[in-house]
Amino acid sequence: MSDLASHIRALAAEKNAVILAHNYQLPEVQDIADFVGDSFGLSVKASKTDAEAIIFCGVDFMAESALLLSPDKLVIHPEPESKCPMAAMVDAQSLRLLKSKHPDAAVVSYVNTTAEVKAESDICCTSSNAAKVVRSLPEKKIIFTPDANLGSYVSSLVPEKEMILWPGYCDTHQNRITLEDLKTMKNAYPASEIIVHPECIPEVIEFSDHAFSTQGMLDHCKTSDTREFIIGTEREMVHRLRKDIPGKIFHSIDKAVCPNMKKITLKKVAASLEIFGPKIDLPDDIIKKARIPLERMVAVGRGD
């Protein structure tokens, strides 16, 4: 362990802070975390921690969700500029307008949304449980925000629902993981299974063997008889896979980077522990409303 990594672990112990990191964080950040996971797993951890503070190494909506689920805790985001551009593609006012046009629809919002948008939603979902959440609702009509790729994947799994898709997307999955990339990699590594994230475009999902959340990828690769995998998601995912499953081979797509996830560095994590900030702050009325759809999502459970 580097001196900086040891300093971070000592500070976290001294200050009773838990460090949570998403699977797309830089390898050295993943390595100093108490828990590394997908959006669903991180939400559950955040709702159950006994620590005084949560140091959240992920993008803004993930740290906000931690505060919504643990409003009495101090939630620290080491780099407030680490934001998910897809979460900014839907705003509360535009969603209210769409809801007024479809009063019979339930609103399902991906966790990749602001707290204000969650406050306008009936239930949240992650890529792990999106289909399970949609299936759990009595309404036939569903407004799904903001990821149209995830929404259309869910629609293919739950055809009995009428889905109104918000036109949002993730640049990393939509534009940096193409069908051509997968074909080239399959030619190079023909024995590999292809596993992609459901934020990828439909042609990419169709060409793949499976679509999973990042934790779903890990669970599948552990138990599968296959030894070699092409991983169609943010490239740091293979750090987690190689570390947890040392006997197998994982190929990443090098250009599939989420630049926002990379804004959190070890130096910033150390600084955030030293000053115990910057902290996530949300208005009380938003916390009250936005935590309801998130808690409903946690109650539905994992789906992959």
Q: Is the dihedral of CA 10, 15, 17, 21 positive or negative?
A: negative
Q: In the bound complex, what is the minimum distance in angstroms from residue 257's beta carbon to ligand SF4?
A: 9
49 near ligand 13P, judged by CB under 6 A: no
30 near ligand 13P, judged by CB under 6 A: no
Q: What is the DSSP string of 55-99?
A: EEES-HHHHHHHHHH-TTSEEE-S-TT---GGGGG--HHHHHHHH
Measured CA to CA, the distance from residue 56 to residue 76 in angstroms comes to 6
- Whole-angstrom CA distances from 41 to 46, 62, 76, 110, 207 are 9, 11, 18, 14, 27
Interface pick for ligand 13P out of 214, 252, 260, 272 (rule CB under 6 A): 214
Residue 213 interacts with, from ligand 13P, ligand SF4, none (CB under 5-8 Å by kind): ligand 13P
Q: Are 42 and 260 in contact (CB under 8 A)?
A: no
The amino acid occupying position 101 is: K
Q: CA torsion, points 198, 203, 207, 211, in degrees to nearest 10? A: 10
65 near ligand 13P, judged by CB under 6 A: no
Interface pick for ligand 13P out of 60, 120, 199, 236 (rule CB under 6 A): 199
Q: Are 162 and 140 in contact (CB under 8 A)?
A: yes
What's the token pair of residue 86?
A: 């897809």
236 near ligand 13P, judged by CB under 6 A: no
Q: Are 128 and 300 in contact (CB under 8 A)?
A: no
23 near ligand 13P, judged by CB under 6 A: yes
Binding footprint of ligand SF4 on the chain (CB under 6 A):
59, 84-86, 112, 170, 172, 199, 234, 258, 260-261
112 near ligand 13P, judged by CB under 6 A: yes
114 near ligand 13P, judged by CB under 6 A: no
Residue 252 interacts with, from ligand SF4, ligand 13P, none (CB under 5-8 Å by kind): none
**Please, which residue, 176 or 291, has the CB nearer to ligand SF4?**
176
Q: In the bound complex, what is the minimum distance in angstroms from residue 225's beta carbon to ligand SF4?
A: 29
149 near ligand 13P, judged by CB under 6 A: no
**Please, which residue, 29 or 105, has the CB nearer to ligand 13P?**
29
What's the token pair of residue 244?
A: 């947890």
Backbone angles phi, psi at 256, to 5 degrees: -80, 75
Q: In the bound complex, what is the minimum distance in angstroms from residue 60's beta carbon to ligand 13P?
A: 11
**Please, which residue, 112 or 215, has the CB nearer to ligand SF4?**
112
Mark the segment that binds ligand 13P (CB under 6 A) among 32-40, 117-125, 150-158, 201-209: 32-40
